[in-house]
Amino acid sequence: MPIEETLVLVKPDGVARGLTGAILARIEAKGYALVDVRLVEPDRERLEKHYAEHAGKPFYEPLLEFMQSGPSVAIRLAGNRVIEGFRSLAGTTDPTTAAPGTIRGDFGRDWGLAVQQNLVHGSDSPESASRELEIWFG
């Protein structure tokens, strides 16, 4: 099995709440390698590319606005089956129902916040990973 790479983002809520270190600790404990890490304040154009598959959905505009509300930490992450593995660490999209033990399940606050405030992004396929790594790391 070749080593894969994936794009992970610690989203603005994760950075603002000081959870970057806790999230990185879980990633490192799992054995994945940090290839590149940077603090990014993405403009709308970059986010439109990143979230192209969601254009037109009801949560699209709030999502883009939220993603411009503060810096994110972009991570180029490598490891065996890391695409699937990081999504497993992250938990399912909605923090309310994400399993305890996952990043979203343990840290996702459930006090009426929108679903987009779910702390992290992880690419969902090899095709998404290469497309998204190009968008965030060039």
Do 116 and 62 contact (CB within 8 A), yes or no?
yes
Is 81 annotated for ligand binding?
Answer: no
Cα separation of 90 and 99, whole Å?
A: 9
From the list 41-49, 71-79, 110-118, 129-137, the region that binds ligand DAT by CB under 6 A is 110-118
Interacting partner of 59 out of ligand DAT, Mg ion, none (Cβ under 5 to 8 A depending on kind): ligand DAT
- Is 118 a binding residue for ligand DAT by CB under 6 A? The answer is yes
Do 7 and 48 contact (CB within 8 A), yes or no?
no
Do 89 and 30 contact (CB within 8 A), yes or no?
yes
The residues carrying an active-site annotation are 121
Do 8 and 75 contact (CB within 8 A), yes or no?
yes
Interface pattern 109-138 for Mg ion (x via CB under 5 A): ---------------x--------------
Q: Look up residue 70 and give its two tokens.
A: 């503060």
User: Binding site for ATP: which residues?
Assistant: 11, 59, 87, 93, 104, 118
User: Binding site: which residues?
Assistant: 11, 59, 87, 93, 104, 118
